[in-house]
Amino acid sequence: MTLEAFADTILPGEKRFPDDRAVAGVSTGGGAVASGAIDVLRTEEGGMAPALDALADGLNEHAERYAGERSLPLDDAVPPFVSLDYDHRVALVRELVAADHPEREAWVSLAMFNTIAFDAASHLHTVDALAAGHPGLTTMGYFGPDSDGLWRFPSYSYGRVLARPHPDTTPSGSPA
């Protein structure tokens, strides 16, 4: 749940069910969580799986400290990071990924995998992800393949001269 809340901070989505706590619900359409962020993090290939528990614990410790410093009340029913509202989650994540934060590499890596879930669905074959209406690829408007599962764009060019070439161009087409 903590890592879901982190993923939702990176690329937010709409709540999956009315009292969804991990997803803050600040955006319409599916975000990183609905795109499979946790599945991507858990893949053996990605290499993040062994670190996930420690990352979730670390994030909650940071959240507790963050809330303490600002006297924000935390709801014991959910982990501390989940208890923060979206803007506080963002503020904390900005702190953690800042250039001078000692743990920034860990949090940037986590953000990177969350982004990959949304924009590439790396836990699924791309053809299958599109067929299943993967939220990230769909939101981006990623065009689907031909019926044989391969991409081709027969219409691809404006097909006319659109600029003057540089005067110092060699006959082979390189800068002189």
Partner 1 sequence: MSRTESTDVLVIGSGFGGAITAYHLAAGGAKVVVLERGPWLSGPEFDQDFKFGSSTTRVFDFVIGDGMSVLSGNCVGGGSVVYFAAMPRAPRFVFERHGSIGRRMWPAAIDRDALDPWYDRVAEALPVSQQTWDDVPFAGGLFGAACDHAGRTANPVPVAIDHDKCTNCNWMMSGCRFDAKRSLLLNYLPAAVAHGAEIRPLHEVQHLTRTDDGGYRVHYSIVDEVDYRVHVSTGTIDAKIVIMAAGAGATPVILQRSEPHLGTMPHAVGRYFSGNGERLNTAIFDEDRIRDVLGLSRPDGVPYEAYQIGKGPCVATWDQLDGSLPEYSRFSLEQLYFPPGFGTILAQVPDAVGPTWFGREKKELLRRWRSWLTVFTMSEDDNEGVFGPPPETGNSMRLSQQMLGRGALSYTPTKNTLHGWAESDAAVKDILERDGLSRVMPWTNEVVGAYTVHPLASCRIGDDPATSALDDRHELRDHPGIFVTDGSAVPGALTVNPAMTIAALAERAVPGIVRAAQERGVAVRYGAPAPDGSTAGRRGVLPLVTGSTRR
Judged by CB under 8 A, the chain residues 90 through 119 that form the site for partner 1 are 90, 93-94, 97, 99, 105, 108-109, 111-112, 115-116, 118-119
**Inter-CA distances, 93 with 78, 107, 116, 142, 143, Å:** 18, 8, 18, 28, 32
For the bound state, the minimum distance from the C-beta of residue 59 to partner 1, rounded and expressed in Å, comes to 15
Q: Which stretch binds partner 1 (CB under 8 A): 24-32, 53-61, 63-71, 75-83?
A: 24-32
For the bound state, the minimum distance from the C-beta of residue 168 to partner 1, rounded and expressed in Å, comes to 8
For the bound state, the minimum distance from the C-beta of residue 77 to partner 1, rounded and expressed in Å, comes to 25
Nearer to partner 1, 40 or 74 (CB): 40
Strands (E) located in the chain: none
Nearer to partner 1, 67 or 129 (CB): 129
**d(C-alpha 62, C-alpha 96), whole Å:** 9
**d(C-alpha 56, C-alpha 75), whole Å:** 17
Q: What are phi and psi of 26, to 5 degrees?
A: -95, 5
